[in-house]
Every structure is written in structure tokens, then in C-alpha cells.
Amino acid sequence: MTREQVKELFKFLKYIYPNFEVSSEKIDIWTELLSDQDYSKVMEKAKKHSLEQKFPPSVAELRVNEPPENEFLKKYQQWQKEGAERIAKQRNTNHG
């Protein structure tokens, strides 16, 4: 997320939580901590949080921690597909 996006997030949080403190330093820190995050996903979490919680969220509550992609699973699925194609091809040449 960019600094401007964090400002938008803070604007939203300030409307929902009037006691939510905003300062330039806080924007800088949150920008650093959320720099690797997707703005729309964080805002989605902020909206969900605001519907369920009476206190403002922390950075940790807004971070979207997606599991890393499983490269082995992708390879395994590719091997299965290639194996099935190879078997079908062998059956066709043996019966043809």
C-alpha cells in the first residue's frame, strides 16, 4: 500500500471510530508496515472489522496473510496430466 492509500484507510477508520488517532508519524509507520499489502483487501478487512468490533483495528488485524503458493502441488498436478496423456497415447498406439 502507498502512503495515499493508508491516508484513505485512516479516513475510513476515523469516520467509524471517532477516537482513532491520526498523525503524520502514524501514517508513516502504518505505510511501512502495510507496504506489501493489497489496498482493496486491507480495506475489505477494515470494513469487516468495523461491522464486528467496537474498537479500531491494529495493523496485525488488517494485514492479509495469504499462504505462499504451493509449487509442488502445481508440479504434481502437471505430472498427473502428462501421465494421463501419455497413458492415453500409448493405449491409442497399441490398439490402433
Tell me the whole-structure pTM to 2 decimals.
Answer: 0.69
* pLDDT for res 74: 84
The set of cell numbers assigned to 66 is 495469504
What's the average pLDDT block by block, 10 residues per block, for the chain (96 residues)?
98 97 98 97 97 97 84 87 90 77
Handedness of CA 77, 80, 82, 88 (dihedral sign): negative
Nearest to 17 by CA among 52, 42, 69: 52
Q: What is the chain's Cα-based Rg? A: 24
* pLDDT for res 96: 58
Q: Domain 1-65 sits in which CATH superfamily?
A: Replisome organizer (g39p helicase loader/inhibitor protein) (1.10.8.200)
The span from the CA of 45 to the CA of 63, in Å, is 8
* pLDDT for res 27: 98
